[in-house]
Structure 1
Amino acid sequence: MTSTAYTPPFSRNDPSPLAQWFWTVDRALLSAALVLMSLGVALSFASSPAAILADESITDPFHYSWRMIVWASAGGGIMLTVSLFSPRGVRRLAVLGLLGAIVVMAALPFIGDEVKGAARWVNLGPFSLQPSEFVKPCLIIFAAWMFAEGQKGQGVPGVSIAFGFWALVVGLLLIQPDIGQTLLITTTFMCVFFMAGVPLKWMAVLAAAAAGGVVSLYFMFGHMRDRLSRFTNPETTDTHQIDRASDAIRAGGLFGRGVGEGVMKRHVPDLHTDFIYSVAAEEFGLVLSLTIISLYAFIVIRGMRRAMKLNDPFEQTAAAGLFILIGLQACINCAVNLNLIPTKGMTLPFISYGGSSMLAMGLTMGLALALTRRRPGAYEPGASLSRPRRRILP
């Protein structure tokens, strides 16, 4: 028998842009994201037949599966295309995306479709766009850029500009209202601010302000109080959604019921979007559940390690912020499915059904891959994770 060695598709001496991309992009991170997208498509075939029962106008049992293939293909294409960008191209795309998303979000009270009491989507015929999904990575990159500019001491009020845009985005989210996205964006924004070198005393002040903001939101929004009440007093309120999801996860056991054999999933509302994790757990068991969590952990840990070794302050904080964003959203979705936190209505990155979510996650990962590519001078020789912190405030 003869063994055939792996032959790379490009030579290291090939000067073409694709060849340079292939040898500089983190192929392990790229592969992990593509595996998660593939799992999302596979799980859509398990969830679609049960999901269409809630809509009598749909007759094709795999309606959501075919659409998921389209969204995953488009999201993968965006990820690969954006990963070709230079850091300057990343900044330009983020600024344009941020401004565009803000304009659309500001128009949502007038042109948006209201679903379950929230106007978060713009109807574009066969596709509904949720601009808040795209504003997240763009705001994080813009904030990292402004923090880096503020460090240069050239009179640019980077911190003030970044916080001004964060406040604008949060205000537009609260108008919709979308508390989950507000908390996710704020947490990630504060992480980026911390990594940019803010003193700990400022972080303590910001943490206290954030706690006060959460308390204010509790009294301002009735649906937030209702969700917290259902979580803290499940015996006195209707917890049908999370109860059915918990039943599905328990029914899966170690190896699951088998492909297409899930029974409890038929009673889980939004099983193909917010609760796709419970479908995976019932049909494929704890093994696949831990595999999915491990893939997210791999993306975050490896991505953070690469980000923290970058020389440029902007590239370092922007890339780290994007990986934190992916990890936090995955943690929130899994925690909701496991009934560890109140329901948030947040998708599982790369896996949940949804055009806006899949396209935005493709954009987020593409931006992170672009920033962490190996370019001349991008990484310190023998760089380690223990680097002196930079200060951006006196």
Structure 2
Amino acid sequence: NYSFNYRYLYYFFVAKHIADKVDDNKEVIDSIIKNLHKDENAYIAIFVSHHSQKDYILDEIILNAYMLFDMYSSASLSKEELSFFDEQVDNIIKLVLPPSTSSPEIERDKRLKVQDKIEEDKSTDESKDDPTEDGTTPDDSPQNFELLLNLRRSIKTVEVMGRIIKNRAGSLERPRLEMIFEEAMNIHLRILTSFFDLIKNDDKQSKIIEFITKRLKIFTDAKKEKRRQEGQKEKEFSSEELEKLAKSIFWNTNFFVASGIIEKTVHSLGSDQLIDITEKVCNKIDSPATFLIKHGILMWYRKQLEVDKIEKKFKEKEFSETAKEILKFLIVEHCSIHKLTAQEKQTVESKLKISSKEMLLKQISNKE
């Protein structure tokens, strides 16, 4: 028996075997594509597409993609769609531009170390704490499991589609690249719509905020008792203060989920080889959501921050406040790992209304 020290070699050669006889392995291919939530299937699917130029594999992936979260429409992030979220935008934390003394090199190094640690942990035990990996259903929450399974399958499918169009940007016809990019992007935008459906109901909001408030009360009471035993004083939080904090936690969590899905789309589908494809597809749809994705990709893969175009878009009536805050988040991320001149930084501050850390500290000092 032969074994491989690196699992990717195993995936590579399994895929090569399948790709050499696609017609004989269609059932295997179908099973792999329907179970892309498993990492090994995702890697094998990418390698099969690399080894074989036959349309069958890619067609099956695309057909499978159409069915993911297909009961939802693609999110647009328009003002009408996010009116419920815009009402809470004041609860969202305001990100600030990094100080002039910050070092993009150090920040990038920190992020690389974090990513390396994540990859290392994943390599050690890929299936740890992942109930979807072995296909078993937790007895206590089959509905939650099904949602988790569909979510993971959808995210991995987008990753596979993104990797394929990046690898085959020079061999696939342009219309096909555009179609794959658009459908992959729409999967994430449909996930976003499903998420908004979960959180926009007033009763559900109240129940979740009430739950968070109770947990905060338990935590603060325990902390207060511990400090009392140590002979120290602890601030007493009123019910109103705890509820306000719970509400802030709820809406900030929602914001970072939404911005995380947009950011995931940027990294799953973005490539410097696909900029023209990105711009054509996103401009065709022309929604706040696709505008965010397009400029996220331009910032990450072209180091291109188009302040004037973003400022103009911010002034459009249908552009939601939530979409603005998500794009500001992407801009702050961009600025933290790229050096801006003093003039560029001032332009971002004045035109996009993103404060710098120095400006924020000055405002706080003036208030005091």
Question: What TM-score does the superposition give when structure 1 sets the normalisation length?
Answer: 0.22
Q: Which has the higher helix share?
A: 2
Higher radius of gyration, 1 or 2: 2
